[in-house]
Amino acid sequence: MSIEVKIPPVGESITSGVVSVWHKKSGDYVAAGEALLTLETDKVSSEITAEKAGVLETKVEEGQEVKIGEVVATIDDNATAPSKEKSTAAPNEPAPAAKHTTEKRSPNADVLSPAVKRLTTEEKLTPSEITGTGKGGRLTKSDVLGHLQKKDSGPATDDQEKPRAQKKSDVEQQPAASSERFTRKKMSPLRRKIAAQLVMSQQTAAILTTFNECDMSEVMAFRKKAQEKFQADHGLKLGFMSFFLKATVEALRAVPSINSRIEGDDFILNHYFDIGVAVGTERGLVVPVVRDADQKSFADLERDIADFAARARDGKIKIEDLQGGVFTISNGGVYGSLMGTPILNPPQSGILGMHAIQQRPVAVKGEVVVRPMMYLALSYDHRAVDGKEAVTFLIKVKEAIENPTGLLLDL
């Protein structure tokens, strides 16, 4: 009996995705619960697993866009798993001579993407003789092209002296020549979603940004003093983001109008503190939400942040991790940004931008001293928040960071 493998619902408002990679190929025997493919959507990447064991037959190629509910493969659950026992030679028969190759065999050299399969077929190559550099030893297009280049650059023979005709596959797979002015490729679902969100934010909200700066001396001194014990007690580092999460909660309590959103003609004031923390990945920016930040200790906050960062890098963020935030913090300072104006994350009314810490001369009690300073930026929806409230909020964050004693009570 064949069981259909369908693209399951992966989140509210997600209608399609892209099959970014098949972890198994047609003809492979798969176990129940084993990962079959990775689906990349406009919000998250999800692994689709096998519901039952059997032999897989894929129906779509890598890179193809598919709809939710679409059948992308079938599994024949009547097939049995291949025997793991190695066949032995008869007592009187000599064992076959081992075949020696000059190159290391890739563990997953037989797991080929459609592009690699086509290239190896056209060039009459043996995949097992090519070293794979992809995940788990998987062969990539660049591996095959590199093998071809090495092959062509070997000792010349009468046949090799003749220029090899460039095939269509070479043109498709090789990098663009330096004479070409641009390269065109389709945007990923996540990048398309980010683009749409940014445009919608600019078109639907009255965005204004106010700035301030804070002296990081006290936080840096405390962090240095407490770091060793914090790591010993909790098994993770004490970072700056947990301080800013705590400071943001205090500022939102002082200026409740920023903890709000506008829906049509309604003004909705939130009474909880689920704070989004922007995380940059190779696929784009995602904003997982730290739930009930007001009720968590520094260790709890750092643990949440570390977990989100790891899962975001691995493409394992869940859709529910990204929903329901009331405010966002974005740290452009990790990339060296000195100043910037963050864009609102709809339907939220505020976003705090952190920037790089820089040693700068400042006036303190009539004297010029050098201090580690950070510029802060608050972008807010002027429909819901007045300028006075925005400035007050940013000053509250500044005061909490420069005098962190009140934030440290739960350490």
Could you give the angle at the alpha carbon of 206 between the alpha carbons of 203 and 207, nearest 5°?
A: 95
* Catalytic residue from among 152, 233, 386, 410: 386
Phi, psi of 351 (to 5 degrees): -145, 130
Catalytic status, residue 382? yes
* 329 within 8 A of 278, measured Cβ to Cβ: yes
* 52 within 8 A of 21, measured Cβ to Cβ: no
Catalytic status, residue 100? no
| SS3 sequence of the chain | CEEEEECCCCCCCCCEEEEEEECCCCCCEECCCCEEEEEECCCCEEEEECCCCEEEEECCCCCCEEECCCEEEEEECCCCCCCCCCCCCCCCCCCCCCCCCCCCCCCCCCCCCHHHHHHHHHCCCCHHHCCCCCHHHCCCHHHHHHHHHHHHCCCCCCCCCCCCCCCHHHHHHCCCCCCCCCCCCCCCHHHHHHHHHHHHHHHHCCEEEEEEEEECHHHHHHHHHHHHHHHHHHCCCCCCHHHHHHHHHHHHHHCHHHCEEEECCEEEECCCCCEEECEECCCCEECCEECCHHHCCHHHHHHHHHHHHHHHHCCCCCHHHHCCCCEEEEEHHHHCCCCCCCCCCCCECEEEEEEEEEEEEEEECCEEEEEEEEEEEEEEECCCCCHHHHHHHHHHHHHHHHCHHHHHHHC
* Catalytic residue from among 234, 294, 307, 382: 382
Q: What residues are labeled active site?
A: 382, 386
